[in-house]
């Protein structure tokens, strides 16, 4: 698991009801990442993903724009060591 990282991102804006979670899962799967994405009660979308720093940077680039109907106004990203607890990338909640 060396050079594996964990990205946790909170994406704000018009990000619910615009297929954001599905598009994020598709992008994460394309990048061979593991983790999850979910809607939050405050209207944001939360993402936790694990993979290489380069893979995660590409996912973070995607999160700054999202799918066509989304309007992202901000992304808060934090980096941590990977735990290896995920086996796939899924949509939660």
21 is catalytic: yes
* Residue pair 48/36 in contact by the 8 Å Cβ criterion: yes
- Active-site annotation holder among 21, 26, 40, 53: 21
Residue 28 near residue 49 (C-beta atoms within 8 A): yes
Give yes or no for a contact between 59 and 20, defined as CB atoms under 8 angstroms apart.
Answer: no
Residue tagged active-site, from 14, 26, 39, 40: 39
Residue with tokens 């808060």: 76
Catalytic residue positions?
A: 21, 39
């Amino acid at each position: 698991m060396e050079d594996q990282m964990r990205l946790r991102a909170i994406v704000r804006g018009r990000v619910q009801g615009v297929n954001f979670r599905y598009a994020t899962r598709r992008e994460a799967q394309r990048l061979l990442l593991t983790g999850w994405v979910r809607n939050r009660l405050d209207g944001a979308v939360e993402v936790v993903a694990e993979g290489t720093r380069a893979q995660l940077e590409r996912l973070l680039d995607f999160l700054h724009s999202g799918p066509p109907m989304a309007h992202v106004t901000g992304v808060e990203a934090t980096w941590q060591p990977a735990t290896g607890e995920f086996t796939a990338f899924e949509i939660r909640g």
